[in-house]
Chains A and B, each alone.
Chain A
């Protein structure tokens, strides 16, 4: 019964989505404001019904209703409740429901928090989001209904993969989806502006906070996925350039370009065409990711096993949405072109190059991801494109980004001069080279040039970011007051940029200096990596709530002093399946120590053990978190939280309708 209610709620949501899209769009075109006003309530209603539907599906899982086919595929009576809930979005149908639910939530948020926007704009934005909802709801109802029943009902669910019973894997998809779906807001803003034929600074200002928040979610989602893979999968890796990983990284890159381009559009009215296209592409890449993961064209551990028939539906949807947007752009391009000139020697110039670099990186990743598919389908041969290719292109392209970061953030808007910028950057430049080169030589035993480059870049980024803050208090009497007057967005930018520096350091050092050894240890034996020693104390059998395990107990020492006790378990779950290894990790700011128990090699108590020393690895996710924090600061800047009265007064002064 509950499943039927859930199913019916989806149908109702679809009806409301249709109303939500067509009525306001027609109303905006014809000038019927009462029709446009339908948008918000329709959106809220749609959100209500999809929420009901989602809760119904969750209920189905929690009560082990195995008459529902999807629950049989994804769940099991032995799963703890927490993981039954996360199993709801573990498969194709349920994750689609989550997608559509998040889309409705974002739409509702736009409906509730955009009172400062003119009705016609708000109506169009909500309507466009409604069109996307229609597409996904239709897709679900026609091809991927999570509420389909099977008869006879199964006695037990089929899925009990211990790999999926993990907290990291619970939060990772929702965060990612909030990001993917969040870019639909920026997309809808772009479409609404193109439909209306007008794109101005006000539009950019409205669009920015939504885009920033979506970007923050995506950043966190990607970082979580990377971190989870590292501690759970046991190969010490944290990024594989897997097609599905790339499908999340490309929207992130375009999204980053977008938030920078929006800044220029808002501040100077430039790059309107760029910004619109970036908004369209960010969301298009989200949709493309959906297509790649669910159509079966790509081989990936992340891919849902699916029929090409479903792929055709998504492809048609993609063609309509993206094709329609690009056609709209082609039609409206003259109207939205910026009338303002851009001086290359200015912050805008820097941001233009920034846009180009990020788009180039994203395009290259897209090329590498799709090339094997195209070659194979066209009969030109079967190749694999993996980390060697992507690493080779990513590193050279990221270096100019890091270099430019400092320059552009300090450049003046509209017009700057070589002399002024040069003056500002000379000291940071010199210090970066000196300190950046000195650091690896003092801290590392073996200096690799990659470490020197990363170090210089990280110091450069840090110094130029801090220089921005210094500039704001320079020459001011009351420095504290100056700091307080600095907009939150400025601090956001500073943090986010420094996060990039941390990230770059982390990736470089861990890639160049990690040590991984598979060795044979007998009880009491020890193994040295640099100044660290690892001793295997004992191996014993332990019992867990739903597994039995062999546990290896290790001591890690640094320069002979004990620093931690590590335990690694090889678990055999009661429900069966292959043994799963839980690694023992001593996580640290400067390095991770990692031990993983292998197999008993002989009856004399010799075991195979994997030991890692991974310096700076936490900096990777720390950098991402700092970036996300910066984005959050920027998104919650006071400017975006003005009251309706304040906003109206401001709009009147500038002459924006």
Chain B
């Protein structure tokens, strides 16, 4: 009886591995991906100086009533450069994006925005990862979607592409939202 037990146990183990490999191959499972703790929770605070005007503080509560994106980026991050064009497009469509300039040099950051365009409504300057840690950020770029009630509803680790936007983020933004943003004059 025990002799068959070993055989059965072994094939169960192989089954688990096969399942894992299959899910890795289809892209559903990435061992390096760390899932976020904040879906369905109130957005963590930001509370850091603004990149362009350090006397002003960037607060998550400022965005209450809108659906907005929170994008973590840095000039040292190649994937961030690649997604920047699409972020510009999104901001032109009226999507509010709050940026977090993470562990970066302020003047380099401003230069990059001059060169590549500034899609951000405001930008927090976070040189010591305090905000990044509060949001459970472990790499750049990372983008969060926060709804009008201030709850985090989606997150993507990696660059935002049109596909990612359509599949994960677009559903949280109703057309009415963006025109509200324009009418509010926050853009």
Contacts and interface: CB of A to CB of B under 8 A. Distances in A.
Contacts of A299: 31-32
Nearest to B17: A315
B34 A319 contact: no
Interface in A501-523: none
Interface string A279-303: 0000000000001000111110000
Contacts of A308: 21-22, 24-25
A326 B10 contact: yes
Interface stretch (B1-9, B60-68, B112-120): B1-9
A323 interface: yes
Contact of A315 (B6, B18, B23): B18
A490 B142 CA distance: 63
Contact of B17 (A291, A327, A329, A378): A291
A327 B7 contact: yes
B21 A297 contact: yes
A142 interface: no
B3 A315 contact: no
Nearest to B4: A330
A361 to B, nearest CB: 18
A329 B34 CA distance: 42
A280 to B, nearest CB: 9
Interface in B24-39: 24-25, 29, 31-32, 34-35
Contacts of A333: 3
A312 B10 contact: no
A318 B29 contact: no
A298 B16 CA distance: 14
Contacts of B31: 296-299, 373, 376
Contacts of A2: none
Contacts of A329: 3, 6-7
A377 B29 contact: yes
B19 interface: yes
Size band of the interface chain B makes with A: 20 to 34
A277 interface: yes
Contacts of A150: none
A322 B29 contact: no
B24 A297 contact: yes
A377 B16 contact: yes
A323 B6 contact: no
A323 B29 contact: no
Contacts of B14: 315, 318-319, 323
Contacts of B3: 326, 329-330, 333
A291 B20 CA distance: 13
A309 B11 contact: no
A296 B25 CA distance: 11
A45 interface: no
Contact of A322 (B10, B21, B22): B10
A373 to B, nearest CB: 6
A311 interface: yes
A309 B10 contact: no
A312 B21 contact: yes
A308 B14 CA distance: 14
Contacts of B17: 291, 295, 297, 311, 315
Contact of A309 (B7, B20, B25): B25
Contacts of A326: 3, 6-7, 10
Nearest to B32: A299
Nearest to B35: A382
B2 to A, nearest CB: 9
A318 B6 CA distance: 15
Contacts of A315: 14, 17-18, 21
Contacts of B24: 296-297, 308, 311
A384 to B, nearest CB: 10
A277 B20 contact: no
Given A308-B24, A323-B14, A330 B34 contact: no
Nearest to A366: B13
Contacts of A153: none
Nearest to B20: A377
A330 B9 CA distance: 13
A432 B14 CA distance: 47
Contact of B11 (A295, A323, A373, A377): A323
Contacts of A291: 17
Interface string A362-399: 00000000100110111000100000000000000000
Contact of A295 (B13, B21, B29, B34): B21
Nearest to B24: A308
- Chain A CB within 10 A, most for which of B13, B16, B21, B31: B21
B137 to A, nearest CB: 16
Interface string A450-469: 00000000000000000000
B10 A377 contact: no
Contacts of A323: 7, 10-11, 14
Contacts of A298: 31
Nearest to B25: A308
Contacts of B20: 297, 373, 377
Contacts of B19: 377-378
A315 B24 CA distance: 14
Interface of A: 277, 291, 295-299, 308-309, 311-312, 315, 318-319, 322-323, 326-327, 329-330, 333, 370, 373-374, 376-378, 382
12 contacts: A295-B21, A298-B31, A299-B32, A309-B25, A311-B17, A315-B18, A326-B6, A327-B7, A370-B13, A378-B19, A382-B34, A382-B35
Given A308-B21, A311-B21, 17 more contacts: A295-B17, A299-B31, A311-B17, A312-B18, A315-B21, A319-B14, A323-B11, A326-B10, A327-B7, A330-B6, A373-B31, A374-B16, A376-B29, A376-B31, A377-B19, A377-B20, A377-B23
**7 nearest A-B residue pairs (beta carbon):** A308-B24, A377-B20, A330-B3, A326-B7, A308-B25, A333-B3, A308-B21
